[in-house]
Amino acid sequence: MNEEKRIAVIGAGPAGLTAAYCLTKKGYKVDVYEADKQVGGMCKTIDLWGWKVDIGPHRFFSSDRKVNELWLEVAGRDYKMVSRLTRIYYKSKFYLYPLKPMNAFLNLGTFETARCLLSYFAQKINPTPLRDDFESWVTRRFGKRLFSIFFKNYSEKLWGLPCTDLDSDFATQRIKKLSLYEAVKNAFFGGGGHKTLVDEFAYPVGGTGMIYERMAQKIQEGGGGLYLNAPVQKVIIRDKTVKGLINSSGAVVDYDHVISTMPLTILVNRLDGRPEDIKQKIAQLKFRNTIIAYLKIDGVNMFEDNWLYVHSPDIKTGRITNFRNWVPQLYKDQQNTVIAMEYWCNDEDAMWKQDDEALLATAKEDMEKTGLLKGNKILDGKIVRVPRCYPIYKKGYKQMLYPVEEYLKTIRNLYPIGRYGAFKYNNQDHSILMGIMVSEIIADGKAQDLWAVNTDYESYQESAVITETGLEIK
């Protein structure tokens, strides 16, 4: 056991547990503090009505060799390859995503397709000026008409902002290679497509949370501590160096290194001696909440997608997941279907303050509107609330975030990582990569820029993917 460094991890989600797991393998004793009663963070898997279900859809995919090797090391052979089908639901019709020309044409009709194409070619002749916002970025790629149909409503549901107030970073990180030209070219001539829209992905047979439950077990077997229902009050800093933390009972615990995946806003707001300008800037960074309405439905053939993006403005939910379309180990012999309907809101929104009964009534009404029930009855429902789970990329957020990053870099042995901790819209693979990197910094003294992860997704990717038989090096 490597005893010379006392290490704490705040948060038992993908980033925090990966960091603790990797450090444990290197011989360190690591203590992990988690505010929830269960590990996994947003990627935990819960038991519900005899099913295992995730907190919304969580597919894992990476081209990074280290990330994939670690994932496979933990998963072993306990995973399946899942064929990905996700479509856009708009005005009672289903559109393949990414868009396929013939499918879009048949759904939109001749007149609307012509309007979309004219709008697209108008952008080629006279492009909308770039204003560092989501609307102008997407409009230049797709045309105003396609933007209005396939991007505007969903994005405004998710972020609670007009698309003119949403930073273009959201587009550059998520859809930077996707355009109508690429969609047409790939549909008729083939092509690589966009990395976040892969046709197949690896999925653990015990749900996404299985990976993180196994990591937690290995950490404990390696001598580390796992403290659940144990929110950390604050990180202690003296002379710009980490000295420890104050745990949930108010006790001071000494540590040489603290890896934090708690929301960046909470971490910074509780640091002693933070400058006034940092206080002002961190106050401008906000997170979005998620409400998930789980419905148990008396039927097994509702729709074939893993999940649907709901773009219809008259339906409040933004995404619907069908857990029957992942792996059979989730439902075993259950003769029903569990779906998850996601709603996004801010702390001050009326929906966030509604009781569970009212929220379930909204979900049931939305399901009726979609026509997806097909006469099947809703047998039961459950509400799960996930606070502060989406960092809001409001236009100009980088001017607030970068000074905070620079300030935190001046504090020795403090490492904010993960979606919450680094205020980055991470996928699982980004957070796992951050966990690997921070373990290399602490254990090996390797110089790495954690803040650079998920700023240019392609920059760290290698040609290695998980297949049914394991890791394939290309």
- Mean pLDDT confidence for 232-246: 97
Max mean pLDDT range (148-157, 184-193, 218-227): 218-227
Identify the pLDDT of residue 474. Answer: 62
pLDDT, residue 2, reads: 64
Distance from C-alpha of 289 to C-alpha of 200, rounded to nearest angstrom: 29
Give yes or no for a contact between 243 and 413, defined as CB atoms under 8 angstroms apart: no
Q: Look at residue 200 in the predicted model and tell me its pLDDT.
A: 87
CA atoms within 13 A on the CB side of 97: 21
Burial class (CB in 10 A: 0-12, 13-18, 19+), 67: buried
Q: How confident is the model at residue 461 (pLDDT cuts 50, 70, 90)?
A: very low
Distance between CA atoms of residues 420 and 9, nearest Å: 13
Do residues 63 and 429 make contact, with C-beta atoms less than 8 angstroms apart?
Answer: no
Q: Is the dihedral of CA 201, 207, 211, 214 positive or negative?
A: negative
Backbone CA torsion sign across 165, 169, 173, 175: positive
Q: What is the CATH topology of the domain spanning 2-79+202-283+395-456?
A: FAD/NAD(P)-binding domain (3.50.50)
Whether 177 shows a pLDDT value over 80: the answer reads no
Quick check: 344 and 289 in contact, CB under 8 A?
yes
Selection from 292, 319, 290, 287 nearest residue 306 by Cα: 319
Summarised one tens digit per residue, pLDDT across range 305-347 is 999 999 999 999 999 999 999 999 999 999 999 999 999 999 9
**Both tokens of residue 221?**
């077997």
Is 267 or 185 the better-scoring residue by pLDDT? Answer: 267
Bond preceding residue 313 cis, omega within 30 of 0: no
Instruction: Read off the pLDDT of residues 262-314 as tens digits, 9 standing for 90 and up.
Output: 999 999 999 999 999 999 999 999 999 999 999 999 999 899 999 999 999 99
CA angle 331, 212, 229 (to 5 degrees): 100
Condensed to tens digits (0 to 9), the pLDDT of residues 116-163 reads: 999 999 999 999 998 999 999 999 988 999 899 988 999 999 999 999
Q: Tokens at residue 162, please?
A: 């007009």
Higher pLDDT: 184 or 415? It is 415
Show the tokens assigned to 83: 């064929």
Q: At what angle do helices 14-25 and 65-75 cross, to 10 degrees?
A: 80
398: tokens are 């980088």
Q: Going by C-beta distance under 8 Å and a sequence separation of 6 or more, which residues neighbour residue 100? A: 183, 187
pLDDT, one tens digit per residue, over 19-47 is 999 999 999 999 999 999 999 999 999 99
Here the tokens at position 76 are: 């072993």
The burial of 293, by beta-carbon neighbours within 10 Å (0-12 exposed, 13-18 middle, 19 or more buried), is given as buried
The radius of gyration of the chain from alpha carbons, rounded to an integer in Å, stands at 23
What percentage of the chain reaches a pLDDT higher than 90? Answer: 79
pLDDT recorded at residue 452? 87
Mean pLDDT for 7-29 is 97
Given a contact cutoff of 8 angstroms between Cβ atoms, the answer to whether 473 and 65 are in contact is: yes
Secondary structure (3-state) at 404? helix
Identity of residue 362: T
pLDDT at 187: 54
pLDDT given for residue 203 in this prediction: 96
What average pLDDT is seen over the chain?
91
Question: Residue range 47-70: average pLDDT?
Answer: 94
| Beta strand 45-48 pairing with 470-473 | unpaired
Supply the DSSP symbol for 203. E
- CA–CA distance, 172 with 152 (Å, rounded to integer): 16
pLDDT at 459 over 50: no
Q: Which residues contact 310 (CB under 8 A, 6 or more apart)?
A: 89, 154, 157, 317, 318, 319, 320, 370
Confidence class of residue 462 from pLDDT cuts 50, 70 and 90? Answer: very low
Closest CA relative to residue 5, chosen from 43, 86, 19, 15: 19
Provide CATH 3.50.50.60 ranges for the chain: 2-79+202-283+395-456
Instruction: Give the C-alpha separation, 358 to 381, whole Å.
Output: 11
Give the residue range(s) of CATH 3.90.660.20 domains in the chain: 287-391
CATH topology for 287-391 is Polyamine Oxidase; Chain A, domain 2 (3.90.660)
